[in-house]
């Protein structure tokens, strides 16, 4: 999604997003309609029969302060905790989207000749278009088709966001809020498409995670190398969540470096007022790789995976172009620019390098190692 916003900014296009929230999505899947959907999606009859046997005859009772209710049959909802449930819901949602005709719709964002109007992960659905009217049309089609299969939109939690001007909508008498930022799959997406907001948020969450470990880090029974490993295992992953998609600027790098040094100083109980250099802190901690280096490693590994794919949506978003004209003057840094800058190679050479996995791993290791030392 950040790449789409990057391209929209680069080619001076306005993009409109709708983040759909279904009310109790997994609990509203109608069993009888689910079997029909599976059949139309091409699932073999013997597998549908096995799945139906898992769900048939389910009954429940509710315990209240006045006793228990009569037993009643369960005809909706996928089984909680079952590993099949996400797959069943994905097929159910995919069928609804096909019925809504999103693939055939001309509304959406055109990148490299491909029309993109929705991004989905389980029950998290995002619709997108190049105009407010197109987005509204897509939303109403999805809403109507979802209702036929028992899924109802939660209008209060469904949000709209745009890179340009937008006003709140009225859907069935309820207002749909227009926002400037939204937490999508645990990561903050902002209307300006800048990753700095998410980086600051992640660093703040990292500080909270570090503070929660105070009792452990104060213990004299735990060795320093073990404490360092604890920080790397329980604090750094909080900060690095979703970092593969970040476009990191110099100011962001300084923030990340400052956060890492704050962690090591807190670990060693060295206050900022103490006249102790960063180099001496790093010499005592001996980190194998800086936090910024680890983030770069994840980004390069992700780039390698995408480039080796024959045809994928992510690869299209990364390399494709959008119709429009660029602004005059120097362009803002893009995600791909940060990869080219880190490797000091052209895109053509990188295409060749990723095909040899051993050579690519060596290149990634070299780039990561070059960022091991933080600036004092």
Q: Three-state DSSP class for 118?
A: strand
State whether the Cα torsion 365-349-332-244 is positive or negative: negative
Residue of higher predicted confidence among 355 and 369 = 355
Nearest to 138 by CA among 159, 99, 108, 178: 108
Average model confidence (pLDDT) across the chain: 89
Q: Tell me the C-alpha distance between 353 and 307, whole Å.
A: 10
CA angle 232/236/238 to nearest 5° reads 135
pLDDT at position 296 over 90: yes
**Percent of the chain residues past pLDDT 90, beyond the cut:** 54
Q: Which segment of 61-65, 104-108, 183-187, 260-264 scores lowest on mean pLDDT?
A: 104-108
**pLDDT bucket at 104, cuts 50 / 70 / 90:** confident
Question: Of the ranges 98-102, 116-120, 128-132, 321-325, which one carries the lowest mean pLDDT score?
Answer: 321-325
Token pair in block for residue 43? 């699932």
On the question of pLDDT at 110 being above 80, the answer is: yes
Q: Given the structure tokens 């987005």, which residue do they identify? A: 135
Q: What pLDDT score was predicted for residue 49? A: 94
Strands (E), 202-325: none
Which regions of the chain does DSSP assign to beta strands (E)? 16-20, 59-60, 63-64, 67-68, 72-73, 109-111, 114-116, 118-121, 124-129, 159-162, 169-171, 174-176, 181-184, 187-190
pLDDT at 201: 96
Each residue of 191-242: pLDDT tens digit?
888 899 999 999 999 999 999 999 999 999 999 999 999 999 999 999 999 9
Mean pLDDT of 18-41: 92
Q: How many DSSP H helices and E strands does the chain contain?
A: 16, 14
Instruction: Enumerate the β-bridge partners of residue 73.
Output: 59
- Distance CA(93)–CA(25), nearest Å, equals 10
Instruction: Give the span between the Cα atoms of 262 and 270, in whole angstroms.
Output: 9
Kindly tell me if the per-residue pLDDT of 304 is higher than 70: yes
**Region 308-324 average pLDDT:** 86
Asked if pLDDT for residue 182 goes beyond 60, the answer is: yes
The percent of residues above 70 in pLDDT, for the chain, comes to 99
What are the C-alpha distances in Å from 172 to residues 7, 86, 175, 267? 34, 30, 8, 55
Confidence of residue 375 (pLDDT cuts 50, 70, 90): very low
Greatest distance between any 2 Cα atoms in the chain: 73
Q: How confident is the model at residue 331 (pLDDT cuts 50, 70, 90)?
A: confident
pLDDT digits (tens, 9 = 90+) for 49-93: 999 999 988 889 999 989 999 999 989 999 988 899 999 999 999
Q: Is the pLDDT at 254 greater than 90, yes or no? A: yes
**Is it the case that residue 95 has pLDDT exceeding 90?**
yes
């Amino acid at each position: 999604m950040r790449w789409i916003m990057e391209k929209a900014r680069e080619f001076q296009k306005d993009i409109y997003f709708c983040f759909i929230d279904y009310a109790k999505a997994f609990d509203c899947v109608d069993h009888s309609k689910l079997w029909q959907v599976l059949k139309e999606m091409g699932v073999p009859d013997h597998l549908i029969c096995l799945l139906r046997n898992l769900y048939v005859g389910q009954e429940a009772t509710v315990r209240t302060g006045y006793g228990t209710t009569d037993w009643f049959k369960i005809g909706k909802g996928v089984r909680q905790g079952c590993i099949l449930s996400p797959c069943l819901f994905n097929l159910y949602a995919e069928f609804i989207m096909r019925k809504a005709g999103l693939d055939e719709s001309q509304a959406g964002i055109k990148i490299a000749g491909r029309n993109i109007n929705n991004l989905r992960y389980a029950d998290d659905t995002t619709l997108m278009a190049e105009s407010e009217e197109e987005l509204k049309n897509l939303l109403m089609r999805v809403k109507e088709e979802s209702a036929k299969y028992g899924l109802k939109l939660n209008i209060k939690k469904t949000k709209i966001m745009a890179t340009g001007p937008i006003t709140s909508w009225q859907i069935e008498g309820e207002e749909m809020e227009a926002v400037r930022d939204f937490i999508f799959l645990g990561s903050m997406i902002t209307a300006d498409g800048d990753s700095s907001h998410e980086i600051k948020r992640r660093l703040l969450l990292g500080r909270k995670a570090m503070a929660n470990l105070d009792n452990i880090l104060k213990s004299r029974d735990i060795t320093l190398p073990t404490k360092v490993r604890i920080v790397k295992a329980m604090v750094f992953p909080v900060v690095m969540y979703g970092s593969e998609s970040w476009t990191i600027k110099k100011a962001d790098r300084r923030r990340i470096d400052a956060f890492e040094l704050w962690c090591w100083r807190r670990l060693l109980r060295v206050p900022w007022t103490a006249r102790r250099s960063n180099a001496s802190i790093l010499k005592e901690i001996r980190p194998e790789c800086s936090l910024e280096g680890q983030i770069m490693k994840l980004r390069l590994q992700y780039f390698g995976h995408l480039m080796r794919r024959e045809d994928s949506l992510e690869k299209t978003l990364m390399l494709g172009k959008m119709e429009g004209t660029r602004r005059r003057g120097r362009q803002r840094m893009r995600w791909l620019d940060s990869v080219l800058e880190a490797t000091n190679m052209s895109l053509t050479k990188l295409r060749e390098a990723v095909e040899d996995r051993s050579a690519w791993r060596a290149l990634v290791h070299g780039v990561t190692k070059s960022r091991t030392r933080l600036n004092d």
